[in-house]
């Protein structure tokens, strides 16, 4: 059975912030992704403390994991994002909108935290997908 995913249209504010107020899935299988963090990009360069580079690297890691499960970013239904500085929230939304805009947005929570598991990490993204 193939999953059917319906994203509820959000208010203008929700659309501007690149998230859906709710996502309904029927059928299919659920993929629970571990939180993704990194201090290196795909080429092995140090990106410690670099917010945008880490966000893009985390999405790339998520995309790679989903591909191993025969899924893609289009299958994301939920995302929890942890950032270390609330001033990065708007930039995260811009990047998420750029990367997911054509696939639709998952329901999402954005949380500011004071520390991560390792020095240099500034963002962590958890997600749930349905295929």
CATH code of the domain in which 71 resides: 3.30.1330.40
54-62 long-range contacts, CB within 8 A, separation 24+: 54/121, 54/122, 54/123, 55/91, 55/92, 55/95, 55/96, 55/123, 55/125, 56/95, 56/99, 58/123, 58/124, 58/125, 59/95, 59/99, 59/125, 61/36, 62/33, 62/36, 62/125, 62/127
Q: What confidence score (pLDDT) does residue 104 get?
A: 85
Residue 60 and residue 42 in contact, taking contact as beta carbons nearer than 8 Å: yes
SS3 88: helix
Tokens of 60: 């790339």
Q: What span, in angstroms and rounded, lies between the C-alpha atoms of 70 and 111?
A: 29
Q: Which domain holds residue 30?
A: 4-130
Three-class secondary structure of residue 104 per DSSP: coil
pTM of the predicted model as reported, rounded to 2 decimal places: 0.89
CA distances from 125 to 62, 82, 109 (A): 9, 6, 10
Each of the 131 residues of the chain gets a pLDDT tens digit; together they read 677 888 888 888 888 888 888 888 888 899 999 999 999 999 999 999 999 999 999 999 999 999 999 999 999 999 999 999 999 999 999 999 999 987 889 999 999 999 999 999 999 999 999 99
The dihedral over CA atoms of 5, 66, 61, 109, expressed in degrees to the nearest 10, equals 30
Number of structural domains (the chain) is: 1
């Amino acid at each position: 059975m193939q999953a059917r995913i319906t994203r509820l249209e959000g208010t203008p504010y929700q659309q501007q912030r690149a998230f859906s107020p709710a996502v309904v899935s029927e059928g299919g299988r659920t993929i629970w992704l571990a939180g993704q963090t990194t201090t290196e990009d795909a080429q092995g360069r140090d990106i410690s403390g670099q917010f945008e580079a880490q966000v893009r690297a985390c999405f790339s890691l998520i995309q790679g994991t989903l591909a191993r499960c025969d899924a893609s970013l289009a299958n994301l239904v939920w995302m929890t994002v942890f950032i270390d500085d609330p001033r990065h929230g708007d930039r995260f939304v811009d990047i998420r909108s750029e990367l997911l805009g054509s696939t639709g947005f998952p329901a999402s929570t954005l949380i500011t935290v004071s520390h991560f598991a390792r020095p240099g990490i500034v963002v962590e993204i958890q997600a749930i997908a349905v295929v």
